[in-house]
Amino acid sequence: MMTGKSLGIHPERLYRDFEEMARQEGAREDGIDFVSIVTPNHAHYPIAKAFLENGINVVCDKPFTFNVEEAEGLACIAKTRDLLICVTYEYSGYPMVKHAREMIRRRDIGDIRVISAQYLQGWLATPLEATGQKQAAWRTDPKQAGSSNCVGDIGSHIENTVSYITGLKIRSICANLDIFGENRELDDNAEILVRYDNGASGVYHSSQVTIGHDNDLRVQVFGTKGSIEWVQENPNYLRVAHLGQPIKVLSRGESYIYPQAARLSRIPSGHPEGYFEAFANIYFVFIGTLLKKKAGQALCDEDLDFPGVEAGVTGVKFINKCVESSKKGSVWVSLD
Amino acid sequence: MMTGKSLGIHPERLYRDFEEMARQEGAREDGIDFVSIVTPNHAHYPIAKAFLENGINVVCDKPFTFNVEEAEGLACIAKTRDLLICVTYEYSGYPMVKHAREMIRRRDIGDIRVISAQYLQGWLATPLEATGQKQAAWRTDPKQAGSSNCVGDIGSHIENTVSYITGLKIRSICANLDIFGENRELDDNAEILVRYDNGASGVYHSSQVTIGHDNDLRVQVFGTKGSIEWVQENPNYLRVAHLGQPIKVLSRGESYIYPQAARLSRIPSGHPEGYFEAFANIYFVFIGTLLKKKAGQALCDEDLDFPGVEAGVTGVKFINKCVESSKKGSVWVSLD
Amino acid sequence: MMTGKSLGIHPERLYRDFEEMARQEGAREDGIDFVSIVTPNHAHYPIAKAFLENGINVVCDKPFTFNVEEAEGLACIAKTRDLLICVTYEYSGYPMVKHAREMIRRRDIGDIRVISAQYLQGWLATPLEATGQKQAAWRTDPKQAGSSNCVGDIGSHIENTVSYITGLKIRSICANLDIFGENRELDDNAEILVRYDNGASGVYHSSQVTIGHDNDLRVQVFGTKGSIEWVQENPNYLRVAHLGQPIKVLSRGESYIYPQAARLSRIPSGHPEGYFEAFANIYFVFIGTLLKKKAGQALCDEDLDFPGVEAGVTGVKFINKCVESSKKGSVWVSLD
Amino acid sequence: MMTGKSLGIHPERLYRDFEEMARQEGAREDGIDFVSIVTPNHAHYPIAKAFLENGINVVCDKPFTFNVEEAEGLACIAKTRDLLICVTYEYSGYPMVKHAREMIRRRDIGDIRVISAQYLQGWLATPLEATGQKQAAWRTDPKQAGSSNCVGDIGSHIENTVSYITGLKIRSICANLDIFGENRELDDNAEILVRYDNGASGVYHSSQVTIGHDNDLRVQVFGTKGSIEWVQENPNYLRVAHLGQPIKVLSRGESYIYPQAARLSRIPSGHPEGYFEAFANIYFVFIGTLLKKKAGQALCDEDLDFPGVEAGVTGVKFINKCVESSKKGSVWVSLD
């Protein structure tokens, strides 16, 4: 309530806890349209549940929940109550990721054969959680983070970004999860082999002990006619190749960019847009859709161009199956 | 014999086949010091055997042989006859690869935890062998190439380059080999999970269908104190990171380069050395060692800084185990 | 007034023109603290004058005015009335530019000898203004843009960014201005030789006809002990060299970043910050300073870390001297 | 003679000095076809003269001579005696430079408007010559190097590479030459404005005090339809832009490379070729041409695709005019 007060929120709408807030906002004529859940992972489920049950739409950090049952439970409530859920896998908000997705849809690089993706960080190369660093502390704590740290935090971003760009479903995975940090209980490195429903194969590498990499998410998709590469740390560009042609570097803001990406590009090419704009794009699409829905308008594909409840459920399944595979000796497990 | 004549070789030393050559050169007072075997894979073993048995040292393309028994058989002859074998894994000849190796030896990046390496090409994205292209034809033909195309040709370079740089032994692997090319009999893409004897884990990706990549071998080694990255297409530089410090880019030819690399650097920094020099370095070291040996001088570590018979044997084992793993459904197989 | 209404501004504070606004806001107890001038260049002077004369602080786009007399006139009013002026040379707002500035101050690269800087764009390679594109139309129109297009728009950014980073004063310049666009009245390309007060020499190149470059501002500063390079399109990094050492790449957000830059860094390294944050940083510092000033607190160096009225005056002088030099046949002209 | 003996040269052909060698080789039936002059600059003229006068073709390091009169004198002898001269500006030997040249010839980027080129090194940032380093000693000594060090050594490479790629003639230049090294007599930094015969303008920057750059020659050519950028330290690639299209990166060895470049490409794309191959290409073309000429065959354009005597003369003129311009206060001087 102190925080709320300092932010200038009306005293009538300062609440003691999320349950009270969900109940009272749900009961108000002018109640909030949606809630943003940005807590550590373990709190996602109860909060989301409370707001959905009170008829309030939900925007939630990823991973959506601890387990698939919870995720599907929330999906069910949302469906019954006709509410929207957005899970903020933020990398889907970058215009060049949207351009890549549209290229795949238009079959610009043919049939997908191979996917290689990595998300490398180095911030947990030492036992940072032992120093009391807050972010490190909860992410490496099974009670707050769930069954996985590295796959849960960043491996899941690989899963979602690839899935968002390619539309492929994962059929099965074979994962090796390591713990390198001293006295650490959860994984800080993961190598994962992947098989997709169309027969493509893939390899994911997520790590928090790879010194020299800050937030190095990169996705490479190889098709029968060409390939695409996107690198998060230089997000305004896309490397594209086509058989027998020079490599091409596409730049956000140019006239050849597809409308699905162009509509979320704010400033001319060469003026870097970054992480905040990617996040803003997810909210921008979600809010626009919410307003259309409230106005009783029909929603089209473009309106649903944000990571929804299905992405949330799939994400949780992916994390848990990686943990299961690794625990069983890095065997193949099905995601169906 | 025609070729030999056109090269100006003395008529007395023009031979009908390698057996005759091995026999007669082996018998001459002034016989050749060593033979270079640069044929398709299937011919390595009989040729190497013939020359070794006639007391002639051998330099051979990789992979050394089709199977481990052959490789070990050659190793045995070489040992018995006190002959040198060099298997030309050429990437070990680049000065910056040698610098990386020395950094690891000196523990500049601490204990190795994670290795990520790839070798991506796109030249077999289409069924090039069907057009009669010679190189494509023999590499995709089991009779000439052996049990693997992609792992045999380039996956084996990942294996050797990593092994050369790190000195780690592979304990077990789990490999997925794909065939994407129409009517192709051998693999053209491979993703491989790796476990090393020191507890490190790794992931290798070799592919010949990844359009947009020419000869993109890159090796990343992550240790407890830092990391190293080397990229073959820009081979005169090394990306090095240490905990909490700016990324460093080292340049061949500078004063901070270790002697093991500096001695094989020819021209000042910024003047690109390339593929030919890497090959030349392997021959340079091998020949120098051969001369010392002939002169009865003792050989030191530096003299043996070329890929030898042990690298050849390990390479064959790696290829065959990858094929075995994949055939069994991508299960883990031991390399011991 | 329509725009104001749509933005929800109180009807009492909707004004017909800037004069009315300046007068009435200046007269109110709760009048605005400052005005932001983001019009085409020719309107900067009258608007700034009106607000300053009514006791209102000014934030103004660059170039500050058409000529030095106007600029100095405004400086004079600001001084007399004790008002703050900020000229939004936005590139000084990037954290890594601030880090570079602090490195120079601390003499991390010794005495400056040579500066090389460029600002390359390609958007005016064709006569875009003839198509009615609004931005192109006013920038190439002497009545709205002043005596220069290319130097005025982007050459001036080179001048300011270099000046901000190095603290050097330009003694004289020799400029070649070209007009390549068909029927264009103002320059679209400029190469400029520069001499600084400390004996250093420099070369600037600004162009709007360099196809293949979007917004490619890069600044290289070479000193007796090292060098710095910053590239606007990849703004979260700084390339630093020191004699005999590996090249270093510094990343915004790391612990080794100087406080002057670190205090304006929002998110962890590897999460790209961009153009908007650079702009926001200028406003952030300016507003903080304004609040301190209003509170009667003493201002320190850090508070004045935004491009002020002096930067505005120097910028106008630089543009006009470049035009003068080129008109006289690209001769050297003094800036004193 | 000692050196010659150690190289196994026939005793009959060991000479005391170059005059004796020129005379005797010129008189022999089986005399040498050409001589390679790789001495410090001051010795080029007398040696070249001696050999030309004895009917022997000449390959000579750049700069060709100290002054234009000498250069033209040698050109005259060569013409009279029907001899070939090659001046080894090595960067014209890189395949991607040849591809760039052919692109310009075919007008792939339209009419040239602007050229920006630099050649940055850092090796003379300190007074290295005072330590006795041989290369530094003669390059900074007017008696051996001529009137310029930095322009003579590397600025001249910019001049030649640009001229080779574009075919443009320089009409006039305005140069600022600096001396930063303590007690140094010759320039170690130079910024040069350039005007070409077709109306294009350019800017060159050569420096040996720019710490952090090893051998950083880069050439950018901007035309009405596109642009080309080549960087010597990564010489197997060419960055090409066309109006409104994605940036393209061309790779040596691909099927889209023009024959003029492809014929001098040895190994597949992605296998780096470097400095030695560039040099070899110059010799390869020169020697092929010499053989054709000796065989009485007609020479075509392709045969003369090496830097000849005209390049040598122009190069000397460029250096001397830069020195003249700077001495006069960095004024414009004509090259006609």
When CB atoms are compared, the residue of A123, A216, A270 closest to C233 is A270
Please say if the pLDDT value at position C1 is more than 70: no
How many Cβ pairs closer than 8 A exist between chain B and D? Answer: 73
Q: Which of B203, B206, B248 to mutate: most A Cβ within 10 Å?
A: B203
Around B191, how many Cα atoms within 13 Å sit in the side-chain half-sphere? 23
Label residue D119 by pLDDT band (50, 70, 90).
very high
CB pair distance less than 8 Å for A174 and B191: no
CB pair distance less than 8 Å for B247 and C244: no
Sign of CA dihedral D5, D9, D12, D18: negative
In one-letter notation, the amino acid at residue B133 is Q
Please say if the pLDDT value at position A140 is more than 80: yes
A183 touches chain D (CB under 8 A): no
B126-135 pLDDT tens trace? 999 999 999 9
B211 touches chain A (CB under 8 A): yes
DSSP secondary structure of C81-134: HT--EEE--GGGGSHHHHHHHHHHHTTTT-SEEEEEEEEE--TTSS-GGGGT-H
- Say whether C247 sits in a helix, a strand or coil: strand
Instruction: Return the structure tokens found at C291.
Output: 């609040």
Residues in D touching A250 (Cβ below 8 Å): 246
What domains can you pick out in chain B, each with its CATH number? 2-87 (3.40.50.720), 95-269+313-334 (3.30.360.10)
Whole-Å CA distances, A239 to A104, A231, B331, C159: 14, 9, 34, 33
Q: Dmax over Cα atoms in chain C, in whole Å? A: 66
Q: At what angle do helices A309-327 and A156-166 cross, to 10 degrees?
A: 130
B60-118 pLDDT tens trace? 999 999 999 999 999 999 999 999 999 999 999 999 999 999 999 999 999 999 999 99
Whole-Å CA distances, C99 to C169, C221, C235, C236, C252: 20, 13, 12, 11, 9
CB pair distance less than 8 Å for C274 and A277: yes
When CB atoms are compared, the residue of A122, A191, A222 closest to B201 is A191
CB pair distance less than 8 Å for B212 and A118: no
CB pair distance less than 8 Å for C222 and D207: yes
Percent of chain C, pLDDT > 70?
A: 100
Please tell me the distance from the alpha carbon of residue C19 to that of residue A95, in angstroms, as a whole number: 41
Residue among D259, A104, D255, A243 at smallest CA distance from B213? A243
Please tell me the distance from the alpha carbon of residue D234 to that of residue D272, in angstroms, as a whole number: 9
Q: Which of A91, A207, A269 to mutate: most C Cβ within 10 Å?
A: A269
What's the complex ipTM? 0.96
Label residue B1 by pLDDT band (50, 70, 90).
low
B196-236 pLDDT tens trace? 999 999 999 999 999 999 999 999 999 999 999 999 999 99
Please say if the pLDDT value at position A18 is more than 90: yes
Please say if the pLDDT value at position B2 is more than 80: no
Question: Do residues D25 and D9 touch, judged by C-beta distance below 8 A?
Answer: no
Whole-Å CA distances, B331 to A194, A332, B287, B334, D303: 13, 8, 42, 10, 59
Instruction: Return the structure tokens found at C119.
Output: 């600002």
Q: Span A171-191, mean pLDDT?
A: 98
Q: How many residues does chain A have?
A: 336
Residue of chain A minimizing CA distance to D246: A250
pLDDT at A1: 67
Question: Do residues D269 and B214 touch, judged by C-beta distance below 8 A?
Answer: yes
A46-88 pLDDT tens trace? 999 999 999 999 999 999 999 999 999 999 999 999 999 999 9
Q: What are phi and psi of D54, to 5 degrees?
A: -100, 15
Q: Span C226-250, mean pLDDT?
A: 98
Strand pairing report for B85-87 and B57-60? parallel
pLDDT at A5: 87
Q: Which of A231, A233, A250, A281 to mutate: most C Cβ within 10 Å?
A: A233
Residue of chain D minimizing CA distance to B215: D270
When CB atoms are compared, the residue of C123, C215, C273 closest to A274 is C273
Residue of chain A minimizing CA distance to D238: A246
Percent of chain C, pLDDT > 90?
A: 97
Question: Do residues B229 and C233 touch, judged by C-beta distance below 8 A?
Answer: no
DSSP secondary structure of A235-286: TTEEEEEETTS-EEEEETTSTTS-HHHHTT--S-TTS---HHHHHHHHHHHH
Residues in D touching B272 (Cβ below 8 Å): 232-235, 272-275
The minimum CA-CA distance between C218 and chain A, rounded to whole Å, is 12
C268-303 pLDDT tens trace? 999 999 999 999 999 999 999 999 999 999 999 889
Residues in A touching D96 (Cβ below 8 Å): none
- Say whether A171 sits in a helix, a strand or coil: strand
Please tell me the distance from the alpha carbon of residue D157 to that of residue D88, in angstroms, as a whole number: 10
D284-307 pLDDT tens trace? 999 999 999 999 999 998 899 999
Question: Do residues D220 and D229 touch, judged by C-beta distance below 8 A?
Answer: yes
Helix (H) / strand (E) containing B59: strand B57-60
Please say if the pLDDT value at position A128 is more than 90: yes
Q: How many residues does chain C have?
A: 336
Quote the distance between the C-alpha of residue B305 and its chain's center: 13
pLDDT at C2: 76
- B176 forms bridges with which residues in the sheet? B191
**Which spans in D146-274 are helix H?**
150, 156-166, 259-262
CB pair distance less than 8 Å for D244 and A255: yes
Around B304, how many Cα atoms within 13 Å sit in the side-chain half-sphere? 12
Helix (H) / strand (E) containing C45: helix C44-53
C258 touches chain A (CB under 8 A): no
Residue of chain B minimizing CA distance to C255: B244
Please tell me the distance from the alpha carbon of residue A230 to that of residue A232, in angstroms, as a whole number: 7
Residue among D244, D237, D230, D226 at smallest CA distance from D114? D226
Label residue D326 by pLDDT band (50, 70, 90).
very high
Q: Which of A96, A108, A238, A249 to mutate: most D Cβ within 10 Å?
A: A249
pLDDT at D4: 84
Residues with Cβ < 8 Å from D291, sequence gap 6 or more?
none
pLDDT at C4: 84
Buried b (16+ CB within 10 A) or exposed e, A93-128: bbbbbbbbbbbbeeebbbebbbbbbbbbbbbbbbbb
How many Cβ pairs closer than 8 A exist between chain A and C? Answer: 74
- Say whether C178 sits in a helix, a strand or coil: strand
Q: Dmax over Cα atoms in chain D, in whole Å? A: 66
Helix (H) / strand (E) containing B36: strand B34-37
Please say if the pLDDT value at position A172 is more than 70: yes
| Reduced 3-state DSSP string for D273-335 | CCHHHHHHHHHHHHHHHHHHHHCCCCCCHHHHCCCCHHHHHHHHHHHHHHHHHHHCCCCEEEC
Residue B153 DSSP one-character state? I
